[in-house]
Amino acid sequence: MKFKSLIATGLLSMLASHVAHAQSDYPVNRVSLVTHSSPGGGTDVFLRGLIKHLSGPMKVNFSVENIRGGSGATAVAHVAKGAADGSIFYGTTPTYIQTTLLSRPQVGYDGLDPIAIIFIDPEVIYTRTESPFKSLEDVIKHAKANPGKSRWGASNPASLERIAMERLSRSAGVKVPIVSHEGGADQMIGVLNGTYDIGIGEMQELQAQLEAGKIRLLATLSEKRLDGLPQLMTAKEQGFNVVVRKFRGLAGPKGIPDNVARQMEDAIRKAVASPAYKAEYTREHLTPMVLGREAARQFTADVAAETITSFKEIGLLK
């Protein structure tokens, strides 16, 4: 009897384990992560890096889909119409909030449900290695001495990067044409060929060109110097009061079940904690800040409120 009891207990244990495993399985086997960024742009690079560390543990096939146009509004609308089953998410940055406030598209940031905030991503100002500029002061002096000849690059018109460049221009007291692009990769071409004096981007998208010796960093727009680049001065240290905070996360169609959102959050937390991924994002100067669904919703609302205040201060909103 004791032997039979042990067998029965073992079978029940195996059954419970199987049921628990089945319940923990992600509900779909294919997930699309959508970005408005062009291939090679900041969000594109971020998402492709993330899925390398989610695919295996989740046993899910991830893909990155680049949907350009409308400063991100086209991509947001595409995701909002998707199935609320965990099969599609949008790679969020402050741009999707800014586009909503400035362009008022049919589907805005509030048409999606924030699922997770994952990283804070520092913005830096850069120039091509062959340029004469060694500091932001050099750039500003050149712009003032050569009115109408300087041009600065930025990503799309409603982006955090574009707003940061506008703030830099105002802080420096100089008027410079700021040319927008749908993604950081297009902007990079303009900087490398000398069309623009400077560009702005995240370390993640600049790393390859920096390591190849093709660009020079002039300033970080973070509150303090980056741990991995202690020699790079902040814009504030150089006399220009411009500080920006860029986040990276995921948002999905409204109506995603809580258990699916939790599964994605848990997988993200495990990925961020893994030594392999940590080595990658540390190299790219990303600061982990994993927030789950409820906290991500509040964080997004707070950033939206801050953005409205900032836009009113610089005259973009009344």
Summarised one tens digit per residue, pLDDT across range 90-101 is 999 998 999 899
Confidence class for position 69, pLDDT limits 50, 70, 90: confident
Degrees to nearest 5, angle at CA 120 with 206 and 116: 120
Q: Are 215 and 141 in contact (CB under 8 A)?
A: no
Confidence class for position 9, pLDDT limits 50, 70, 90: very low
The whole-number pLDDT of residue 154 equals 92
Question: What is the sign, positive or negative, of the torsion defined by CA atoms of 296, 51, 225, 194?
Answer: negative
Confidence class for position 62, pLDDT limits 50, 70, 90: very high
The whole-number pLDDT of residue 18 equals 43
C-alpha distances (whole Å) from 203 to each of 130, 145, 198, 287 are 20, 30, 15, 12
- In this structure, which topology does domain 123-220 adopt according to CATH? D-Maltodextrin-Binding Protein; domain 2 (3.40.190)
Degrees to nearest 5, angle at CA 162 with 38 and 101: 95
Rounded to the nearest 5°, which phi and psi values hold at 66? -95, 115
Once rounded to an integer, what is the mean pLDDT over residues 212-228?
93
DSSP string, 8-52: HHHHHHHHHHHHHHHHHS-S-SEEEEEESSPTTSHHHHHHHHHHH
Q: Are 63 and 32 in contact (CB under 8 A)?
A: yes
| Sequence spans of domains, the chain | 28-121+246-313, 123-220
Beta-ladder partners of 160: none
The reported pTM is 0.74
Query: Residue 280 contacts by C-beta under 8 Å, 6 or more apart in sequence?
Result: 49
Beta-ladder partners of 124: 201, 220
In CATH terms, are 28-121+246-313 and 123-220 the same topology?
A: yes
Domain 28-121+246-313 has CATH 3.30.70.980: no
The whole-number pLDDT of residue 158 equals 65
- Whether the pLDDT of residue 183 is over 80: the answer is no
Residue 185 and residue 212: Cα distance in Å, rounded? 15
The whole-number pLDDT of residue 223 equals 86
Helix (H, G, I), strand (E, B) or coil at 184: helix
The whole-number pLDDT of residue 173 equals 94
